Structure formats: C-alpha cells, structure tokens
Amino acid sequence: KILDLLRSLKLVPDQTPPQADQIGELTDELRNGIVGFLAMTPCLLLAINQEDLTRDPEQQNLPGTTAQYPNWRHKMRYSLEELENSPEVGAFVAELRSRLRATGRIDAGLGG
C-alpha cells in the first residue's frame, strides 16, 4: 500500500512495481520518495540514519539481538568527512530541504 500511496503522490515514478518484493534493492528514487512522504507529514522530528542516507544494507543495530550480531561495533561505510563531500549526499539533502520548504517547515532564509 505504501508504494501505491507514493505513486499517487507522484513521489516515485509510475513504473515503480506495485509490490515491495518486486523491488530488488532500495534505489535512490524509492528512498527519496519515502523520505519525501515523511517530510510531508506533520511530524515534529524527522531522523534519517546513515544506512538509509547511503543505502547501506548493513545495519548498525539489529533489535532483538545481543550475542548474535555485533551491535554498534560495525563501522559505517563512510566517514563524516566523506559524507560532507559526497555529491550524492548533497543532492539528497538538497531534495529533502526542498520538500521541507514546500511544507513551510523550514524557511529558505534560515540556511535550510
């Protein structure tokens, strides 16, 4: 149902498969659509973790595990400096800011 909603809001292309199991991996388009939807909601806090930002399939923390998974010990794929200088991350942040501006939740004059 989320894919239908994202399509109806024009947050993902019309050719996006209707079922999640038909999508091989999280694409930039799909990630941006999901985050775009979240930005449209009246939530007071929108947090995006580094794994989602970079589409990293490895999770930092796997809830419900203790000894089975190296929670919080797995190094992130990119350093903060690499993230800051990444054109892909910059494009994503610009897209997110644009969506937040469209909702009136950030002001263009505030550096957002």
Is the distance from CB of 33 to CB of 6 less than 8 angstroms? yes
- pLDDT of 33: 93
Q: Please report the pLDDT score of residue 53 as a whole number.
A: 86
Domain count of the chain?
1
Q: Identify which has the larger pLDDT, 47 or 64.
A: 47
More confident residue, 93 or 63: 93
Stretch 56-75: mean pLDDT: 76
The 10s digit of each residue's pLDDT in 2-50 is 899 999 999 999 999 888 889 888 888 899 999 999 999 988 888 888 8
Q: Model's pTM, two decimal places?
A: 0.74
Cα 37 to Cα 9, 25, 93, distances in angstroms: 8, 19, 15
At residue 109, the pLDDT reads 59
pLDDT tens for 71-93 read 777 778 888 899 999 998 899 89
- Return d(Cα 95, Cα 16) in angstroms, integer: 19
Q: What is the pLDDT of residue 108?
A: 60
Closest CA to 53 of 92, 97, 95, 12: 92
Angle at 77 between CA 31 and CA 29, to 5 degrees: 15
Q: Which domain holds residue 35?
A: 2-110
Residues 6+ apart with CB under 8 A from 33: 6, 11, 12, 16
